[in-house]
């Protein structure tokens, strides 16, 4: 038993670890995808602004006459004065004009120091015409540029390159990526504890149903073993006196038979519940006249009650039709009526009442029997639960009747409630949709 518990705990822990790893992987993937999306979105937004600026200047250059950009001769004194165009120049954009031999023709316009510092050894990459590209001038300064063939009929200028420094954007992106990495790391750390918590929560119903199943199997085997042992003992006893007459062994045979009957009922009930658990049993609903149906189910019980000196009364107020599985509804009433008979004594009364409430059909089975202790009411629908084991065994009780009753009711989307009568006994109230 102890070994079994250790083994069980090991399996649970292994499963919980699996859940935790699975949760953690899911969280990490989600955060990573989220981070990448946010990062690429920010990058796009930042560069779309610079790209817009580049394309706008390109368009303006294409729209202007070639003379607007024509660089004045180098020895001209007015050369250092920037040329005035009819549109304001974007101070962030450097316009470089290349000739056929990859020489810059507007050196003066660019500024000598900029030219000497950055562009002296720089050659344009003509394979990437008309596409906005990133470059690192001197492997240090990030620029975004567009190189295009000058559409104007100019002898000197063959290519125009528009460059924009993206140091600020790059800085923002670097800081942003650091922030995202930091946040993701914090989130992943947090998700470790969240995964642990979630995996524990996910394990709870599994452990619960595992324990319930184990308890069920244990109870079932115990219930099966007891009658089998009794039958085996009685048969063995009879074998010791093979020449004895059956009449003399009447008691042993009767007991064995009653235990066999018990076994048969037990296996049928177990099968019903197993099928209910696996949702194998389908209801076969049909139209039933409530009061006539209850009357026919109760009629043998009226006779039994009479023979046991008990009073049986009927108050049928549901002259209506309802849609239900006849066999299951019959089984439900039989379980409740059997119990009412089992747990009442001489001169007690048993009553069945039908009526409509909230557009539903109500079946009330009440008795003035031994009743159920209030503190035990929450357990009476549990499998194999019996208030008084010794006593119920005598009366043939196994403790599965009410579990089956509860399944039948919930399969019909109804409800079953039990209450302790004010005077004496118990009332079961079953409410089913029409
Ligand atoms: P059993 O086969 O033992 O009757 P049930 O599941 O039908 O199993 O009932 C579970 C327990 O509920 C019973 O053992 C009994 O203690 C209690 N019980 C059920 N119906 C009644 C009733 N009408 N009066 C008193 N006790 C009841």
For residue 11, report the distance from its CA to the centre of ligand 1, in Å.
36
Pocket of ligand 1 (CB under 6 A): 335, 339-340, 342-343, 367, 369-372, 380, 385-387, 392, 397-403, 426
Nearest to 54 by CA among 128, 152, 147: 147
Place of tokens 């029409």: 434
Mutate to test the pocket of ligand 1, among 386, 394, 421, 425 (most ligand atoms within 8 A of CB): 386
Residues 199, 15: Cα–Cα separation, whole Å: 9
| Whole-prediction pTM | 0.65
For residue 147, the surrounding DSSP H or E stretch is: strand 141-149
pLDDT at res. 110: 80
For residue 399, report the distance from its CA to the centre of ligand 1, in Å.
7
Q: Cα 25–31–32 angle (5° rounding)? A: 85
What residues contact 196, with CB distance under 8 A and at least 6 apart? 20
Q: Quick count: other Cβ atoms within 10 Å of Cβ 354?
A: 22
| 133-137 sheet: strands from edge to edge | 93-98, 159-165, 141-149, 133-137
pLDDT at res. 151: 59
DSSP codes, 98-129: E-TTS-BS-HHHH-HHHIIIIITT----GGGB
For residue 17, report the distance from its CA to the centre of ligand 1, in Å.
42
pLDDT at res. 371: 92
| Domains assigned to the chain | 2-72+81-173 (no CATH), 202-277 (1.10.287.130), 285-433 (3.30.565.10)
Residues 343, 325: Cα–Cα separation, whole Å: 27
For residue 198, the surrounding DSSP H or E stretch is: helix 167-240
Identify the residue whose C-alpha is closest to ligand 1 atom 8: 399
Question: Is the Cβ–Cβ distance between 20 and 199 less than 8 Å?
Answer: yes
Place of tokens 């038979």: 257
For residue 288, report the distance from its CA to the centre of ligand 1, in Å.
27
pLDDT at res. 78: 42
For residue 333, report the distance from its CA to the centre of ligand 1, in Å.
14
Q: For 432, how many CA atoms within 13 A lie in the half-sphere containing its CB?
A: 29
What residues contact 201, with CB distance under 8 A and at least 6 apart? none
Q: Cα 169–172–177 angle (5° rounding)? A: 125
Q: Which numbered atom of ligand 1 lies nearest the CA of 425? A: 24
For residue 209, report the distance from its CA to the centre of ligand 1, in Å.
24
From first to last of the 434 residues of the chain, give the pLDDT tens digit. 566 677 778 888 888 899 999 989 998 898 889 889 999 999 898 888 889 888 888 888 877 645 444 444 444 444 444 444 455 677 788 888 888 778 888 877 787 777 777 777 778 787 878 888 888 877 778 888 998 887 555 565 578 889 888 888 889 999 999 999 898 889 888 988 888 998 889 889 988 888 888 888 888 898 899 899 999 999 999 999 888 888 888 888 999 999 999 999 999 999 999 888 887 778 899 999 999 999 999 999 999 999 999 999 999 998 999 999 999 999 999 999 999 999 999 999 999 999 999 999 999 999 999 999 999 999 999 998 988 776 666 666 789 999 999 999 999 999 999 999 888 899 999 999 99
pLDDT at res. 86: 53
Per-residue burial over 124-157, b = 16 or more CB atoms within 10 Å of its CB, e = otherwise: beeeeeeebeebebeeeebbbbbbeebebebeeb
DSSP codes, 47-62: HHHHHHHHHHHHHHHH
| 360-367 sheet: strands from edge to edge | 311-316, 349-357, 360-367, 426-433, 415-420
Q: For 199, how many CA atoms within 13 A lie in the half-sphere containing its CB?
A: 22
Residues 207, 163: Cα–Cα separation, whole Å: 66
For residue 365, report the distance from its CA to the centre of ligand 1, in Å.
13
Identify the residue whose C-alpha is closest to ligand 1 atom 23: 340
Alpha-carbon torsion angle 375, 376, 379, 380, nearest 10: -140
Identify the residue whose C-alpha is closest to ligand 1 atom 4: 397
Identify the residue whose C-alpha is closest to ligand 1 atom 11: 386
């Amino acid at each position: 038993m102890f070994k079994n518990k250790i083994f069980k705990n090991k399996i649970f822990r292994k499963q919980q670890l699996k859940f935790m790893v699975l949760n953690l992987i899911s969280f990490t993937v989600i955060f990573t995808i989220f981070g990448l999306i946010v990062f690429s979105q920010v990058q796009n937004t930042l560069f779309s602004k610079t790209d817009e600026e580049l394309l706008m200047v390109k368009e303006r250059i294409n729209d202007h006459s070639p003379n607007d950009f024509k660089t004045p001769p180098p020895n001209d004194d007015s050369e250092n004065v920037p040329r005035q165009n009819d549109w304001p120049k974007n101070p962030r954009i450097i316009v470089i004009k290349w000739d056929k031999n990859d020489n810059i023709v507007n050196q003066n316009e660019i500024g000598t120091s900029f030219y000497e510092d950055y562009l002296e050894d720089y050659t344009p990459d003509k394979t990437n015409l008309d596409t906005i590209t990133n470059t690192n001038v001197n492997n240090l300064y990030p620029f975004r540029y567009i190189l295009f063939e000058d559409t104007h009929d100019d002898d000197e200028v063959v290519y125009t390159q528009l460059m924009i420094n993206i140091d600020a954007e790059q800085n923002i992106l670097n800081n942003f990526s650091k922030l995202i990495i930091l946040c993701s790391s914090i989130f992943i750390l947090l998700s470790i504890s969240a995964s642990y918590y979630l995996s524990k929560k996910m394990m709870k119903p599994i452990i619960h149903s595992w324990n319930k199943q184990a308890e069920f199997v244990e109870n079932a085997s115990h219930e099966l073993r007891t009658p089998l042992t009794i039958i085996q003992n009685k048969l063995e006893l009879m074998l010791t006196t093979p020449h004895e007459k059956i009449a003399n062994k009447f008691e042993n045979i009767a007991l064995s038979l009653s235990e066999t009957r018990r076994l048969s009922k037990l296996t049928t009930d177990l099968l019903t519940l197993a099928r209910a658990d696996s949702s194998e049993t389908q209801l076969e609903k049909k139209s039933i006249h409530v009061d006539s149906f209850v009357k026919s189910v109760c009629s043998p019980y009226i006779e039994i009650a009479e023979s046991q000196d008990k009073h049986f009364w009927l108050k049928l107020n549901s002259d209506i039709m309802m849609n239900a599985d006849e066999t299951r509804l019959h089984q439900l009433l039989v379980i409740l009526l059997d119990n009412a008979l089992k747990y009442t004594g001489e001169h007690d009364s048993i009553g069945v009442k039908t009526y409509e409430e909230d557009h539903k059909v109500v079946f009330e089975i009440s008795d003035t029997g031994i009743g159920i202790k209030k503190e035990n009411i929450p357990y009476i629908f549990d499998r194999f639960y019996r208030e008084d084991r010794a006593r119920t065994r005598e009366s043939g009780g196994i403790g599965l009747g009410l579990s089956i009753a509860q399944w039948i009711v919930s399969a019909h989307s109804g409800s079953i409630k039990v209450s302790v009568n004010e005077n004496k006994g118990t009332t079961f109230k079953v409410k089913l949709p029409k």
